[in-house]
Structure 1
Amino acid sequence: MRKLLFALGAIAWVTNAMAADPARIDWSKVDVTKVPLFYPGQSSYEWLRSPAHKGGASRVAAGRACVSCHDETDAEKELGDKLVQAGPLEPAPVVGKPGHVDLAVQAAYDDKNAYLRFQWKTANPYPGTEHQYLRFDGHEWKVYGFPKLDKVVQEGKQPGIYEDRMTVMIDDGKVQGFAQQGCWLTCHDGQRDMPKQFTKEEVAANPLLTAIKKSDVRKYLPETRTDPSDWKTGKTVEEIAKIKAAGGFVDLIQWRAHRSHPVGMADDGYVLEFRNADGGKDMFSGNADAKTHAPKFMWDEKKVGYKSITADQLRKGDHFLIREQNAVPFDPNAGWKEGDLIPDYVLAREDAKGSAADNGAIASWKDGLWTVVMIRPLGLANDDDKALKSGGVYNVGFAVHDDNITTRGHYVSFVRTLGLGAGSKADIKAVKLP
């Protein structure tokens, strides 16, 4: 019953806010484009341009597209099956992880919105809707569950718990090199789970990251560094603002199976000098009190029948904490026992505001298959969005996070083009709805 209520709530918001009801679009009449995704390992922007990329570095330097070399049938499958194994680009292989995923993509649009539909098979026989928790150890609350690539999971000290995600990057032709190398422009040595990973001391000594108040290194575009291959360099905040004003950023839309799916949304961000959230407020926020580390909210026992769960209940039903639906302020005197779990994130559709709240989404998981429909308004005028328009053609890259893995452990695509009424000029052609 709870799952039905969450689904109905998400569809109701989408239907009320959008022109068409995506739940009633006849997708059988929309062409399907098969886009193979593959495991990239630690193949960064820098690696593509290094001697280790044998036969490819000079072509990349000359501005050639990845697909100009990797153009044979099953190229992505062969790459992924190789890179997922232990080797120079994979120091921490996940046992049993497939090297590739087949993604089915469909697109439609009307006078107000674009609708992007994705389907893929999951590695596990359950939907990856669980995310990190706060666990009471008898004295205090601590984070429980980490991505599979993290050392604490590899060493068996923590369970692998992380949400599934579907990601779309969009470039309108203003980011130099994206049409050729796609998301590899954003993935660099020094980032989390990458070679030469940053240290806290290096971040603290970096003028750019200090200026923008960041404590780690995430996706960025080469144009924002004085040395495109060195995250430790950086242009000034003023210079980066000019790049952004000229449209030199990549839009980043993420559907999250735990942190956006339950409220019928996909979050909205962009990549420039960092992986940034759009202006406004996301639909999710941290549930841990900054000082005490105790939860801010717990489940409303009167509504759902419990105030917390335990580890043996994981992946047995939905465990979303939604402020306006099933949450109440945390009570520290509620008789907590060792092993009690409360989600580390609280969701709120009502609190999502501004550009960060632009994107809707509906999704379902059945028989090992995720079906996700993202709803993107046309003609957005925010300074952190790429405006999709009828007749436009866009460079796009897709990624799927599966099997409790984040950061570089995802599956990625080579660049494709998406056209809204653009005829034969695009790989993926959006159908105009009546």
Structure 2
Amino acid sequence: MRKIMIATILSSGMLFAGSGAALAAAPDWGKVPVKKITLLYPGVSPMEWILKGTEHGGAKAYKKAETCASCHDTEAADMGKKMASGEKIEPKPIKGKAPFIPVNVQAANDGSNLYLRFTWKQPPGGGPKMDAANPVKLAFMLDDNKVERSSQAGCWETCHNDARTMPDAKDDKKTKYIAGGNASSKFYDLIQWKSKEKAVDGYVADKRVMEGGKGLVEAKGEKKGDEWTVTFTRKLAGGGEGDVNLAAGKTYSFGFAIHDDHTNGRFHHVSLGYTLGIDAQADINAAKR
């Protein structure tokens, strides 16, 4: 009986943190405000490109502390179209690649846990199956405003032109990283749900580490018709390696990405950088419920 229960948990994409951990009750999502965020296909746009004024017109404004979202929030869909088609900064366009994905984001807390919910319609696909095991993955990253420029660009600060799957990559094992990052003070908290495999609770510092976190209580996803819903329950006080400890009244840098249509590496859809507040005014406010 115990083996059957474990198999059911894993096949549904759920993860329980800790032996015998009690699962918290999710909020009434019908009463939680919705933030609509458009994810865009980013092409080859690492931080090096963003900071290069001869190629990125917004580099000057960015260097004066403007945020990516303040300039591009309403342009994300159009930007995605240019990159997915190969018109701009995409040397290897994928036929049928969705240029953007509109996502409804909701957040709440109960004093002990953060709850996040993402819903979106499955876009058309047809590209190569880079990750044959997982049709869809969704990851989010948090930073306690300690990573340089994370408050402007969200998780883009982990994207560099020498990482694997980038055209200039020389090391096929080099993943996302932060220049000068370390797991004790300068890192992004990373949590990823996978449609067919166990969820991940890790971090990005001088390299991406897909383990070590102790904050994730549950990650689950389901598809009804053409709509996906993915929810996370995460302890406010993570307590593990690479965990950002969340507190009421504070805001955090926040970004998320969807690997759609069996994609891997840079061939995902990503959000611009936003803020997540725990009972605090932010782009996304996880108010106590």
- In the other structure, the counterpart of 2:96 is 96
1:420 is matched with: 278
CA distance in 2, matches of 1:56, 1:256: 34
Contact 2:238 2:245 in 1 (8 A): yes
> Any residues of structure 2 matched to 1:270-281 within 5 Å, and which?
270-279=203-212
Q: RMSD between aligned alpha carbons?
A: 2.7
Is the 1:394–1:418 Cα contact (8 Å) retained in structure 2? Answer: yes
The 1-side partners of 2:11 and 2:71 are apart by 46
Kindly indicate whether the alpha-carbon contact (under 8 Å) linking 1:124 and 1:368 is maintained by their aligned counterparts in 2. no
Paired residue for 1:139?
none
| 8 A Cα contact 2:214 2:241, kept in partner | no
Structure 2 distance, partners of 1:390, 1:357, is: 16
Deviations 1:45-87 (A, max 9, x none): 111122443422223333332133325x3x1011001111124
Residue matched to 1:296? none
SS of residue paired to 1:114? strand
- Alpha-carbon distance in 1 for matches of 2:33, 2:163: 37
Tell me the residue number matched to 1:184.
156
Shift of 1:20: 2.8
Whole-angstrom distance in 2 between the partners of 1:360 and 1:69:
34
Task: Compare the two structures and name the one with the higher strand fraction.
Answer: 2
Take 1:68 and 1:362, find their aligned partners in 2: how far apart are those partners? 31
Cα–Cα, structure 1 residues 98 and 176, in superposed 2: closer, same or farther, change >3 Å?
same
Q: Within 2, Cα distance between the matches of 1:57 and 1:383?
A: 34
SS of 2:123's partner is coil
Q: Structure 1 CA distance, aligned partners of 2:220 and 2:129?
A: 26
For 2:22 and 2:234, how far apart are their aligned partners in 1?
9
Equivalent pairs counted in the alignment come to 280
Structure 2 match to 1:256: 194
What percentage of residue pairs aligned between the two structures are identical?
37
Task: Work out whether 1:429 is the aligned partner of 2:252.
Answer: no
Q: Which of residues 353, 357, 364 in structure 1 aligns to 2:222?
A: 364
1:394 and 1:41 map into 2 onto residues whose CA distance is 26
What is the distance in 1 between the residues matched to 2:96 and 2:130?
16
Tell me, yes or no, if the aligned pair for 2:39 and 2:76 is still in contact at 8 Å.
yes
1:38 equivalenced with 2:10 (yes/no): no
User: Among 218, 221, 233, which residue is 1:375 paired with?
Assistant: 233
- Which of 105, 130, 141 is the equivalent residue of 1:147? 130
Q: 1:356 & 1:87 partners in 2: Cα distance? A: 42
Q: How does 1:69-148 map to 2 (within 5 A)?
A: 69-71=71-73, 73=74, 75-124=75-124, 146-147=129-130
The superposition leaves residues 395-425 of structure 1 with CA deviations (integer Å, 9 ceiling, x where unpaired) of: 1001111011111111111111111211xx2
Question: Residue 362 of structure 1 contacts residue 373 of structure 1 at CA under 8 Å; is this kept in 2?
Answer: yes
- Given that 1:421 and 1:429 are in contact with CA atoms closer than 8 Å, whether structure 2 keeps it comes out as yes
TM-score (norm 2): 0.87
CA distance 1:31–1:172, shift in 2 (3 Å): same
Q: Which residue of 1 aligns with 2:21?
A: 17
Note closer, same or farther for the CA distance 1:109–1:54 as it changes in structure 2 (3 Å cut): closer
**Distance of aligned partners of 1:146 and 1:54 in 2 relative to their CA distance in 1, 3 Å threshold:** closer
Residue ranges of structure 1 left out of the alignment (5+ in a row): 126-144, 149-159, 201-215, 225-239, 261-265, 280-354
- Structure showing the higher helix proportion among its residues: 1
8 A Cα contact 2:220 2:230, kept in partner: yes
Q: Distance in 2 between matches of 1:18 and 1:377?
A: 12
Shift of 1:195: 2.5
What do residues 135-191 of structure 1 show as CA deviations (whole Å, max 9, x unaligned)?
A: xxxxxxxxxx8518xxxxxxxxxxx66431111110111112001112221111111
